[in-house]
Amino acid sequence: MKDFRELLSSEGIFVFDGAMGTRLYDKGIYINRSYDELNITNPELVLEVHEEYVAAGVDVIETNTFGATRPKLQPYGLENKLREINIAAVNLARQAAAGKACVAGSVGPLGLRIEPFGPTSFEEARELYREQAEALVEGGVDLFLLETFSDLSVIEQAILAIREVTDLPIVAQMTIQADLKTTFGTPAEVFVPRLEELGADVIGLNCGMGPTHVLSALEKMRELTDRPLSAQPNAGLPRDVQGRQFYMGSPEYMATFAKRFVQAGAKFVGGCCGTTPTHIKLIADAIRSISPRQAISEARKHSVNVRELKPVDVEVVPQAERSNWSRKIATGAFVTSVEVLPPKGCDAAATLDSIRLLKDAGVDGVNIPDGPRAQTRMSAQATAVLVEREIGIEAVLHYCCRDRNLLGMMSDLLGAAALGLHNLLIITGDPPKMGPYPDATAVFDIDAIGLTNMANKLNHGLDLGNNPIGKPTAFSIGVGVNPGAVNLEEEIRRFEWKVEAGAEYAITQPVFDTEQLRTFLDKIAHVRIPIVAGIWPLVSYRNAEFMHNEVPGVNVTPEILERMRIASDTSKEHAREEGIAIARESLLEVRDVIAGVQVSAPFGNVKYALQVFDVLDDFKGTSAV
């Protein structure tokens, strides 16, 4: 039988398993039930998953107990079976390990807000963790694995509770966002020393945005502690394909990063959401080569073709008269825009200062995303109002269906119209599971098709129930489109429905494969509306890898990847210049088939975005900046 303390003291690099939830989901267990309960109701299935990971070559497997605490079990009426569920989980993992792997007791967040952010006290949280820890110790775990924690105060109570029960080793793993901080804004410089002070035997990262950000954080963490480090990232970000979630990071891609994790100082490497036994096998092979040892919304079924509606005494505002952005699209003029994220706090001064540069340079509009990946930022609608009132440049407001029910969306759109916002980009929105608040809930009363229908009705003076609202709204209605969709036929069908519902233009995902865009435009010629191409200036080879492997629907060509690799090997400045050059080339290659361009500002730096526009003959240019 393996001893985890021996692994800790050895010179080797070792492999943790991958996602239990992903495999159970793949095997037909949907997320509306307790996965922890399966330890006693379907133990054969849990055992099967464990055995798959052991066969893949892991050194440590985790018990199926991530949510086996009282607050997590209570919604299913299972709180009285807490001890039984945890002990059964250990027995199943031990049976599968068969002496070949250590068994780690998996412990996750409580799903409660604790002081000072919520009503649960530190002592109450510690008692809840102590209850699970006692059951896992009784079952016979070799170590504890604390994973997917964003709040340092919560993981602190978990560690203290375990230490009241046992001196078994503890692996403590936090979850970070793209800015390399937790959702509470805690950087590695704060949580690493604190976890070391609390006595964690291994300090690491899991879940989150994917391997790219984990690698960047690990490189920082290595300088902060002598404790062993661990890395168990998600396989990129999930993509919804016909109602099921698929993670886009391939096994080969994850294996490549596993080597980089080791080079950055990781002693333990594995996977989280989206990783399967295939991922883990390739990770294990890679490590040992260098180691000594949703369903689509029903809204479209009930959509109403507003062109057939004839409200009484309502004069629909012509497209060319709704806004300058709408006029240019309606008349065939080329539009330019830059995507700028809303500020993280309530002070928009820095964001507005950067947007002034765009106005001075002659950009037509500012695209403002609506809650990307469940991050906490100022509302896009409030940001758009500030932009138009204080800067005098038009905003293109991204508006998604995730966070609001039908009535809320209706209220927001009416309010937007009253506040003078006219340009919309309608999207379904990312599930909260893709963001840093995994316990947040989504609404999705309708999807982008239904929301397009709603906005078009409002433009015709009708609410969703076909009741007159008086003066009609004057929205320029845009939608998202993905030329690199995994299921291209479904993407085209949805695009057809969006156009039928009233879409007047579309903005694409970032385009790196220009031939792919041209092919897609040929396929939608029968429902063609003006297409605005998304262009993203890359800043590094790592950025290019992330876009290609972890952003659904984005295809960075091998030629571009190689160019960014060579430039990044030279210097950061060369990489940034090469990324801007590639963006310019991409824009010129598709200029003849698009109605405009939306350039993303990498890491919020609008100056890089503005440099892309220099290749347009009729653009004012960046002289103002």
b/e string for 530-561 if b means 16 or more Cβ within 10 A? bbbbbbbbbbbbbbbbbbbbbbbbbbbbeebb
Domain total of the chain: 2
Share of the chain above pLDDT 90, in %: 67
Is the confidence at residue 444, as pLDDT, over 90? no
Q: Which residue has the higher pLDDT, 402 or 217?
A: 217
In 305-432 the beta strands, taken as DSSP E runs, fall at 335-339, 365-368, 394-400, 423-427
Instruction: Write down the pLDDT at residue 620.
Output: 58
Nearest to 368 by CA among 388, 353, 349, 350: 388
Is the confidence at residue 475, as pLDDT, over 70? yes
Q: Are residues 384 and 472 in the same domain?
A: yes
Is the confidence at residue 443, as pLDDT, over 80? no
Residue 552 lies in a domain: no
Indicate the range of 74-88, 319-333, 540-554 predicted with least confidence: 540-554
Instruction: Write down the pLDDT at residue 309.
Output: 45
Instruction: Write down the pLDDT at residue 302.
Output: 33
Residue 274 lies in a domain: yes
Q: Are residues 370 and 233 in the same domain?
A: no
Q: Are residues 328 and 445 in the same domain?
A: yes
Residue type, 137: V
Q: Are residues 258 and 357 in the same domain?
A: no
Q: Are residues 185 and 279 in the same domain?
A: yes
246 falls in which pLDDT band (50, 70, 90)?
low
Element (H, E) at 361: helix 349-361
Share of the chain above pLDDT 70, in %: 89
Residue 314 lies in a domain: no
Instruction: Write down the pLDDT at residue 287.
Output: 86
CATH number for the domain spanning 383: value is 3.20.20.220
Residue 307 lies in a domain: no
238 falls in which pLDDT band (50, 70, 90)?
low
Residue 624 lies in a domain: no
Q: Tell me what the pLDDT averaged over the chain comes to.
A: 88
Domain boundary among 243, 272, 290: 290
119 falls in which pLDDT band (50, 70, 90)?
confident
Residue 622 lies in a domain: no
Element (H, E) at 373: none
| Angle between helix 211-221 and helix 251-263 axes, rounded to 10 deg | 10
Residue 616 lies in a domain: no
Nearest to 508 by CA among 488, 479, 528, 486: 479
539 falls in which pLDDT band (50, 70, 90)?
very high
CATH number for the domain spanning 230: value is 3.20.20.330
Residue 140 lies in a domain: yes
Q: Are residues 502 and 457 in the same domain?
A: yes
Residue 280 corresponds to which tokens in the numbers above?
Answer: 């883990």
Q: Are residues 480 and 439 in the same domain?
A: yes
Element (H, E) at 147: strand 143-149
CA angle 82, 126, 16 (to 5 degrees): 65
Instruction: Write down the pLDDT at residue 54.
Output: 96
Per the structure, the complete domain to which residue 144 belongs is given by 4-290
Average pLDDT estimate for 376-383 = 89
The answer to whether residues 529 and 504 touch, using CB atoms and an 8 Å cutoff, is yes
| Angle between helix 448-459 and helix 406-418 axes, rounded to 10 deg | 40
Residue 425 corresponds to which tokens in the numbers above?
Answer: 């980009």
Is the confidence at residue 336, as pLDDT, over 90? yes
* d(C-alpha 215, C-alpha 180), whole Å: 10
Q: Are residues 276 and 333 in the same domain?
A: no
Is the confidence at residue 347, as pLDDT, over 60? yes
Instruction: Write down the pLDDT at residue 102.
Output: 97
* d(C-alpha 616, C-alpha 612), whole Å: 9
Predicted confidence (pLDDT) per residue in 305-331, tens digit: 444 444 456 789 999 999 999 999 999
* pTM: predicted TM-score of the whole model, two decimal places: 0.70
Question: What are the percentages of helix, strand and coil residues in the chain, rounded to 5?
Answer: 50, 15, 35
Q: Please, what is the end-to-end C-alpha distance for the chain in angstroms?
A: 65
Predicted confidence (pLDDT) per residue in 585-605, tens digit: 999 999 999 999 999 988 788
Predicted confidence (pLDDT) per residue in 487-511, tens digit: 899 899 899 989 988 999 999 999 9
Give 177's DSSP letter. Answer: -
Q: Which residue has the higher pLDDT, 55 or 32?
A: 55
Is the confidence at residue 25, as pLDDT, over 90? no
Q: Are residues 256 and 333 in the same domain?
A: no
The answer to whether residues 599 and 613 touch, using CB atoms and an 8 Å cutoff, is yes
Q: Which residues contact 344 (CB under 8 A, 6 or more apart)?
A: 375, 376, 377, 378
Is the confidence at residue 625, as pLDDT, over 60? no
Q: Are residues 345 and 212 in the same domain?
A: no
Predicted confidence (pLDDT) per residue in 426-439, tens digit: 998 776 655 555 56
Is the confidence at residue 270, as pLDDT, over 60? yes
* d(C-alpha 74, C-alpha 337), whole Å: 49
Q: Are residues 346 and 454 in the same domain?
A: yes
Q: Are residues 254 and 384 in the same domain?
A: no
Is the confidence at residue 194, as pLDDT, over 60? yes
116 falls in which pLDDT band (50, 70, 90)?
low
Domain boundary among 241, 272, 290: 290
Strand order in the sheet with 14-15: 14-15, 266-269, 229-233, 202-207, 170-174, 143-149, 102-107, 60-62
Average pLDDT estimate for 351-380 = 86
Is the confidence at residue 301, as pLDDT, over 50? no
Q: What are phi and psi of 468, to 5 degrees?
A: -60, 140
Instruction: Write down the pLDDT at residue 453.
Output: 86
